[in-house]
């Protein structure tokens, strides 16, 4: 009986942890989306539209972002940090290397990019 109680408590607690970490992820995704769309932050929408939403701005020159949910997080991070490592003639600026976005901001952007199918 005692064991069952302990198990119930343990599963209730782990349930809580799970929901709160999911909520945390949602916040991160929202933060990343904001950075993506904000001119003096990522301003990614100036060059990219995402998910087929035609939000590309006047300077549009990047590919439409799709199927990014299949990319490993590290590859997305590296792309945003410094696209020249994988594409030496990239016209995308190095947001991390240039110091435009912090590590935490890039991680938020990556969380948002992972939601793009």
Look at the alpha carbons of 106, 108, 109, 114 in this order and tell me if their dihedral is positive or negative. positive
**Does residue 115 interact with ligand HEC by CB under 6 A?**
no
Computed on alpha carbons and rounded to an integer, the radius of gyration of the chain in Å comes to: 18
Least separation in angstroms between residue 84's CB and ligand HEC is: 8
CA distance 44 to 83: 13
Least separation in angstroms between residue 19's CB and ligand HEC is: 28
Least separation in angstroms between residue 53's CB and ligand HEC is: 14
Per-residue exposure over 78-105, b if at least 16 CB sit within 10 Å of its own CB, e if not? bbbbbbeeeeeeeebebbbeeebbeeeb
Least separation in angstroms between residue 11's CB and ligand HEC is: 38
Region 22-51 residues binding ligand HEC, contact defined as CB under 6 A: 36, 42-44, 46-48
Q: Where do contacts with ligand HEC occur on this chain (CB under 6 A)?
A: 36, 42-44, 46-48, 61-63, 65, 68, 76, 79-80, 83, 87, 90-93, 95, 109, 113
């Amino acid at each position: 009986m005692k064991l069952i109680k302990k198990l119930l408590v343990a599963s209730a607690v782990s349930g809580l942890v799970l929901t709160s970490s999911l909520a945390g992820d949602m916040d991160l995704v929202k933060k990343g989306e904001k950075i993506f769309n904000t001119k003096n932050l990522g301003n990614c929408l100036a060059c990219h539209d995402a998910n087929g939403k035609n939000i590309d701005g006047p300077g549009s020159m990047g590919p439409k972002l799709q199927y990014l949910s299949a990319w490993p997080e590290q590859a997305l991070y590296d792309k945003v940090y410094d696209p020249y490592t994988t594409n030496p003639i990239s016209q995308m600026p190095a947001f991390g290397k240039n110091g435009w976005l912090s590590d935490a901001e890039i991680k938020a952007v990556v969380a948002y990019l992972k939601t793009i199918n």
